[in-house]
Structure 1
Amino acid sequence: MFTGIVEVIGVVSEYQAYDTSESGGSGVSITITECSEILVDVHLGDSIAVNGTCLTVTEFDKEKTWFKVGVSPETLALTNLGDLKAQSKVNLERAISGEVRFGGHVVQGHVDTIATIQSVTSDENSLRYTFKLRDAKFIAYIVHKGFICLDGTSLTITDVDQEKKEFSIMMVAYTQSKVVMPLKKVGDTVNVEVDLTGKLVENQVRAVLENQIENKDSSLVKLITQIVEKKVSELVK
């Protein structure tokens, strides 16, 4: 679990598509450096969010100046990690421990989809970003003043256009200096993790409705029956 509060911006030192080393697992591996401050307590198997994607540490050097992670095909399909290359900058956050203050919101590091930057405009010392979702269905979980995690950064939604499948956020000057998004331009993508709360509520409501509909004596079925009977009666008259 993460908070969406980026700890440090790391730099990709190596992006290897077919890493045959033991820690690479014959798949895609990414080596990240310039992040020693978050490696002081690192262990193999630890989780670190890279641009909002929860990845497992498979290797690090004795001096703790770099670490390596593996990336599965599914993760590559859902995220923009496949666009990384040597010298790319990435947001990094360690998984939280019990004593950490919770500054952002509950972030799993499980990216739902990506979004494309549609526009960037200045608003005094802040930047206003508008994004368009690749997978339109996730707009259902994006609400005005709700939480969203973009490239591992916890942000507040300032506007939602359900029809265009677009949403906007504001980024204050302090945050701009701590994350990679200001380095991106219109047309670039960000990893999107919608607020888990919306998914949980939807799942619970669906389960309750399905149970109610299957039970002919439920209050919902009785209500629907009454409404239908009333409408039929009005049509007959």
Structure 2
Amino acid sequence: MFTGLVEKIGTVSSLEPLDTSVSGGGGTSLTIADCDEILTDAHLGDSISVNGTCLTVTAFEKSWFKVGVAPETLRRTNLGALTETSKVNLERAVKGDTRMGGHIVQGHVDTIAKILAVTPDENSLVLRMQPRDIEALRYIVEKGFITLDGASLTVTQVKDGEDGWFEVMLIAYTQEKIVTAAKKVGDFVNVEIDVVAKYVEKGVQAYFAGTAGGNMGILEKMVGKIVEEKLKQ
């Protein structure tokens, strides 16, 4: 588990194919350097979030560590687009006494999102993004949590629908601490939805399935009424 508070920006120093005798074929071994600060208490097998993706440390020295990235992870995240010298957000897994300054982050990327616009707002940046899996928007709400490339951020605006999108604002301090601030229109970010939203959805579905004889139409009408009232405001 992670908090979404990026500890260090690391640099990809090498990418190599995974040993097929171990991995079964495919995948990439990443070596990430310039990260002395987060390796002082490292152990083999530790979890480190790399751009919001929970990966296992397979080797390390004072200033670098190595992780294996499976083919499925390369398909579902933006890690497949990394090259030598790419910058990545890094965070160690939390300890029991860690202060939760961000929110609960699993390191399980739900989808990637394409940056549609980057708009300055005084010394802040507004990023507008569209998820590759557009249905993910149902879990994204204004003022809710979202994890982008491993960074815990607050959603400032959401537009639902097939051409929907969501926005976040990066203050000046955050721009200096995460790689996402340097990305351009057309680039992709890893997205992890707040897991609480998924639990709420499942719980509500189970409740109505039990109390309404499985008639989910009641829930749909309720949601439709809430949306209708919202649009009138």
Equivalent residue for 2:165?
166
Residue 165 of structure 1 deviates from its aligned partner by 1.9
Paired position in structure 2 for 1:67: 65
SS in 2 for 1:139: helix
Cα deviation digits, residues 155-193 of structure 1 (max 9, x gap)? 000000002220001000000001101221100000000
Q: State the AA in 2 paired with 1:104.
A: G
Q: How does 1:27-176 map to 2 (within 5 A)?
A: 27-61=27-61, 64-163=62-161, 164-176=163-175
Amino acid at match of 2:121: D
Q: Distance in 2 between matches of 1:132 and 1:200?
A: 23
CA deviation digits over 1:114-152, x for unaligned, max 9? 000000111111001100110011000000000000000
**In 1, Cα distance between the equivalents of 2:48 and 2:105?**
12
Distance 1:59 1:21, change over 3 A: farther
CA distance in 2 between partners of 1:146 and 1:78 (Å) = 23
Q: CA 1:215–1:100 in 2, change beyond 3 Å: closer, same or farther?
A: closer
Is the radius of gyration larger for structure 1 or structure 2?
1
Q: 1:96 to 1:215 in 2, by over 3 A?
A: closer
**SS across alignment from 1:200:** helix
C-alpha RMSD over aligned residues: 1.8
Separation in structure 2 between the aligned mates of residue 109 and residue 21 of structure 1, nearest angstrom: 25
Q: Contact between 1:129 and 1:168, CA under 8 Å: does it hold in 2?
A: yes
What TM-score do you get using the length of structure 1 for normalisation?
0.86
Following superposition, which runs of at least 4 residues in structure 1 exceed 6 angstroms of deviation? 21-25
Q: Which residues of structure 1 form unaligned runs of 5+?
A: 221-237
Q: 1:215 to 1:107 in 2, by over 3 A?
A: closer
If the length of structure 2 is used for normalisation, what is the TM-score?
0.87
Alignment length (residue pairs): 214
Tell me the distance in 1 between the aligned counterparts of 2:213 and 2:117.
Answer: 47
